[in-house]
Amino acid sequence: MHWVRPHNRVVTGISPMTGTGTYPYPLGMGRSTTMSDANVRIPEEAKDRLAAIAAAEGLSLRAYLARLAETLLTPAERAERAEKALAALKEWNGYAPTAAEEQDLDSELDRRLAQVTSQ
């Protein structure tokens, strides 16, 4: 199954609560077979959009958010993947950019993305 993750994934006002029960992940997905209840306060429009996206994929909002949480990386996980990718590139073809070169490349990518999104 292929799906596109939304670019803006900021959810504010998360208030974990001790659940009164546990609910299985759909199809046994995830690191755990259970999850607890949580209250998440987001704008109504955001909830409606997430629910529509979930429904279009044949999922409940709960199942969609559980799947989304499993696919997102923490900053530490992203840094670890980047480090591994750089090590693989260096081993494969000797590519080892300096911090300044990385910053220049990041700036160029940001410039190009801004140019494309403003069109």
Are 79 and 52 part of one and the same domain?
no
Are 18 and 59 part of one and the same domain?
yes
Domain tally, the chain: 2
pLDDT at 23: 47
Are 25 and 39 part of one and the same domain?
yes
Q: Which of 97, 104, 70, 93 is nearest to 82 (CA)?
A: 97
Are 19 and 62 part of one and the same domain?
yes
Sequential pLDDT tens for the chain (119 residues): 333 444 444 444 433 333 334 444 454 555 556 767 888 899 999 999 999 999 999 999 999 999 999 999 999 999 999 999 999 999 999 999 999 999 999 999 999 999 999 88
Total Cβ atoms within 10 A of residue 11: 14
Q: Which of 7, 117, 119 is nearest to 53 (CA)?
A: 7
* Domain annotation covers residue 3: no
* Domain annotation covers residue 1: no
The parent domain of residue 94 ranges over: 75-117
* Domain annotation covers residue 52: yes
Are 46 and 63 part of one and the same domain?
yes
